Amino acid sequence: RKIESIKNEKIINNGKPVLVVDNLCCAGLKNISFTVHQGEIFGVAGLVGSGRTELLHMIYGVEPIADGSIYLNGEKIKPKSPKDSIKKGIVYVPEERRTQGLILNMSVRENITLLYLKYMSYGFFLNEKLEDNESKRVGESVKLKTAGYKQRVNTLSGGNQQKVVFAKCLIRKPKVLMLDEPTRGVDVSARFEIHSIIRKLASQGTAVILVSSDLNEFLELADRFIVLNEGTQKGTIKNLSIGEEKLLMLCYGKEFINERETKL
Give the pLDDT confidence of 125-142 residue by residue, as tens digits: 877 888 889 999 999 999
Amino acid 214: pLDDT: 94
Domains and CATH numbers, the chain: 1-89+174-264 (3.40.50.300), 96-173 (no CATH)
Burial of residue 138, with CB atoms counted within 10 A of its CB: 0-12 exposed, 13-18 middle, 19 or more buried: buried
Could you give the CA distance from residue 231 to residue 63 in angstroms, rounded to a whole number? 14
Give the pLDDT confidence of 145-176 residue by residue, as tens digits: 999 999 999 999 999 999 999 999 998 899 99
Nearest to 26, CA basis, from 57, 56, 62, 67? 67
Amino acid 159: pLDDT: 96
3-class state of residue 216 by DSSP: helix
Per-residue pLDDT of the chain (264 residues; tens, 9 = 90+): 333 444 455 555 567 999 999 999 998 899 999 999 999 999 999 999 999 999 999 999 999 999 999 999 999 999 999 999 999 999 999 999 999 999 999 999 999 988 877 777 777 787 788 888 999 999 999 999 999 999 999 999 999 999 999 999 998 899 999 999 999 999 999 999 999 999 999 999 999 999 999 999 999 999 999 999 999 998 788 866 688 888 888 888 876 544 444 333
CB 256 within 8 A of CB 250: yes
Amino acid 13: pLDDT: 52
Provide the whole-model pTM.
Answer: 0.89
Amino acid 236: pLDDT: 82
Amino acid 146: pLDDT: 95
